[in-house]
Structure 1
């Protein structure tokens, strides 16, 4: 049970975070708070705000925010345009959330115009807008300038004056190697591909005789709205340490500095042989500073490309093209490449990612590939679809055919394509009547796209054929996968989807579920075994008709489903964590024995 002193500290951190958001972006604060609610409650609250705010012109900003929360994008845009034109700050903030920067007028508040420029990736312009409005010394302007400094090539976090530089421990024969991991988030507070891969890696490392301690970013998980979060969590024997200072620093530099100080305390206590930073460049900057202070070598694991994920968050091709050509996209890519080059070693997820990093100046033969893996138990701990459906409480008719995924529900995952494919199958008279009778979509998970997906299902007239239970417990996720007849990963054709390999397909294959994935380089690699054989079905990205045809083909051919399930299991057996972790062992051993890592080179 946390002490009263600890609760008081975390409550103050949460208040600091809420206050900063309230000053910077009140609309986003409301949206983030609402995302802690179940989807049905969140949508209901949005509809209530829509009704309450739509009655009076001056409260249309509230109505616009409600429509956004309810997933009614078209209505949110209409109301935001009217509200912003009338000078409402809240209406302007909703326009920014929608990515409709064109709805802002020159008379919009300077902070809103600056945020629009920042969201477009015009970072320097955002700071200039605030300066011209006499807000150059505001807390918001200080925060933006801080993030700009972190993106400057060569910029490094300062090493605290009180930091000492003890001789890094040498790895003696027979000694267990120790690694300090720097992560953005983790279990038990965040369940995502990132946190699950981290945890499975950590447990596999322990099984291989390597001890680990994890440190997460400043303020996490309190800033997620969890004031009673502990200073440390132990999950399956893995120790997750939090960076919870007395007050939340107002700038990103200050937050990273607080993490450096906490990391130095852990180095003195744990005496790691290696620092392991994982995407993004914030974690790399912390590892670089700690390495400089202590001489402990550091490595970087690149699991994604920050600017590509950011580009994919923009609505529409035009805004994405503009984002791709922006100052932010350019500087983030340069900064992450610079820090990857400075690390003692680089690990990444796929050959596709190696090619991308090579284009950014890294030498391909210096990068170690560790693909997404699976726990051994997934290969044998199986339920039938009926057993799994009973375990998760899904009541289905005999002959029901369930398709879908357990996933974060964000736009680039492409689940709108899946819903449109399902609607086509249900409408098409050529679809076998038994499939029309039994087809059902299950999307287990939550995210920014969830309200819109629910609204789209209703618009398509298939709301009664779509189950969206929201976030499911980690221990129940495999049962939800096994409740499906086919797992679908219909990512859109965006750079982030072409380069980053997801965790979902290999886990579904381990659980003997056939998969359909978008025909994109990273996803093709995910469903291709070591002999070059493709074991998953492919459908062109963003093509509901082609996806519907693949679903129909798998439904109609039970033998094909069984064959793909068996071949998928064989592929997954090649990628178990106990086998993959040997690659990390080799990287760590080289880093621990070669003090010419990032610290020794002065990188």
Structure 2
């Protein structure tokens, strides 16, 4: 944001990152030029309410030091509660950025359709949904990732006029990377044949991401007499990342008899993640057809497109929007969600044609060039201006 003339400082939630095992965390960190300040009280509050109060107190100290024009809270609603409280105390306008739907992510984390149905009908889901909608409706401006998300927020009572859509962006430097798949594999020491055709993902391994569908699709290809022997001999899968679904994916690969074609390196260092993407001939985002997948756009497809890789995504509203450029052109291959056969066909079609992959990668790269962070920041500026205007109008109306 500094390139656009915006100075910012971030406050992380009370107890973070100590609460996730980083016991020697510093009071501050500098990440990508952004100062992250911690809320690490000598004694952690015993209740969620007391921890939020500690965060408000720390935020007030930062307000005195930094003198911000706008308070910017990101998902989930607990951060919005802090921003709202500080705004009420100081008169500084606040913005709520909704980057996910907390209750839908929680529902999607359940492994079986039965448990997801029970979670969806639970009081927790309805209360969280209502609280997030209520807070978004009270913010001076709302920012979200997609029109799909904006439509959902409207259904929750947020005025469409206060919502600004800011799609996931990419670092401009990614657009200049030209490492070939083989070059990336050499750099990583990836053990696949020189002529391998590698599909896969670099992602959190959670059930709703649908990586089991990818493994079933690959199994279909490898065992199909209708697919050329060349494609079958060359096909390999890389799924990099970690999460609750990792053990079941490893077990599934063995059950399908394709473990010799599957590489799962686990969590990879942040600075190496782009090389794992570049090692792929095709990046696959096989999300399941769940509410969270239909509404929330992931970051990974646009990063893969910036790196010049053709992408296959599930044909769901948020993912279609994610891969559609400003001229309305879809810049990825769409595959039916949850359908291994449909995904298998999409992979085979790309494996069969170097020209098709190159054309798709070129369109994808052009789309990513529209979504650099610098261009996205201009939309944030518009939202900040609106929040400040709303705040001034409210003050005038209250006189």
What interval of TM-score do these two structures reach, taking the shorter chain for normalisation? over 0.9
Whole-angstrom CA distance in 2 between matches of 1:345 and 1:396: 50
- Report whether the alignment pairs 1:495 with 2:291: yes
Matches within 5 A, 1:27-66: none
Residue 598 to residue 393, structure 1, CA distance change in 2 (3 Å) = farther
Larger Cα Rg: Structure 1 or Structure 2?
1
Counterpart of 1:302? 98
Q: What is the CA RMSD across the aligned residues, in angstroms?
A: 1.6
- Alignment: residue pair count: 398
Matches within 5 A, 1:343-492: 343-492=139-288
Alpha-carbon offset, residue 596 of structure 1: 4.2
Alpha-carbon offset, residue 287 of structure 1: 0.4
Is contact 2:108-2:208 (8 Å) kept?
yes
Which shifted more, 395-404 or 408-417? 395-404
Deviations 1:320-355 (A, max 9, x none): 222222211111111111100110100001011111
Is contact 2:140-2:162 (8 Å) kept?
no
Return structure 1 stretches of 4+ with deviation > 4 angstroms: 596-602
Is contact 2:310-2:360 (8 Å) kept?
yes
Alpha-carbon offset, residue 430 of structure 1: 2.0
Is contact 1:288-1:598 (8 Å) kept?
no
Alpha-carbon offset, residue 600 of structure 1: 9.2
Counterpart of 2:386? 590
- Structure 1 gap ranges (5+): 1-204
Matches within 5 A, 1:19-418: 205-418=1-214
Whole-angstrom CA distance in 2 between matches of 1:551 and 1:237: 39
User: Aligned to 2:325, what secondary structure does the other structure show?
Assistant: coil
Alpha-carbon offset, residue 319 of structure 1: 2.1
Is contact 1:497-1:520 (8 Å) kept?
yes
Whole-angstrom CA distance in 2 between matches of 1:228 and 1:598: 44
Counterpart of 1:515? 311
Alpha-carbon offset, residue 429 of structure 1: 1.9
Deviations 1:512-564 (A, max 9, x none): 11000001000011111111111111111111111111101100011110110
Is contact 2:140-2:388 (8 Å) kept?
no
Whole-angstrom CA distance in 1 between matches of 2:178 and 2:393: 44
1:567 counterpart (363, 367, 370):
363
Residue 430 to residue 233, structure 1, CA distance change in 2 (3 Å) = same
Whole-angstrom CA distance in 2 between matches of 1:261 and 1:363: 30
Is contact 2:302-2:322 (8 Å) kept?
yes
- Report whether the alignment pairs 1:546 with 2:377: no
Alpha-carbon offset, residue 375 of structure 1: 1.1
Larger RCO (alpha carbons 8 Å, 6+ apart): 2
Residue 601 to residue 479, structure 1, CA distance change in 2 (3 Å) = farther
Whole-angstrom CA distance in 2 between matches of 1:231 and 1:547: 47
Is contact 1:344-1:597 (8 Å) kept?
no
Deviations 1:32-91 (A, max 9, x none): xxxxxxxxxxxxxxxxxxxxxxxxxxxxxxxxxxxxxxxxxxxxxxxxxxxxxxxxxxxx
Whole-angstrom CA distance in 1 between matches of 2:53 and 2:218: 49
Whole-angstrom CA distance in 2 between matches of 1:571 and 1:433: 34
1:537 counterpart (333, 336, 350):
333
Whole-angstrom CA distance in 1 between matches of 2:188 and 2:278: 10
Whole-angstrom CA distance in 1 between matches of 2:233 and 2:325: 35
Is contact 1:213-1:239 (8 Å) kept?
yes
Deviations 1:331-390 (A, max 9, x none): 111111110011010000101111111111112222100001111111112201111111
Residue 578 to residue 230, structure 1, CA distance change in 2 (3 Å) = same
Whole-angstrom CA distance in 2 between matches of 1:390 and 1:301: 40
TM-score normalised by L of structure 2: 0.97
- Structure 2 gap ranges (5+): none
Whole-angstrom CA distance in 2 between matches of 1:251 and 1:356: 31
Alpha-carbon offset, residue 593 of structure 1: 4.8
Alpha-carbon offset, residue 577 of structure 1: 1.0
TM-score normalised by L of structure 1: 0.64
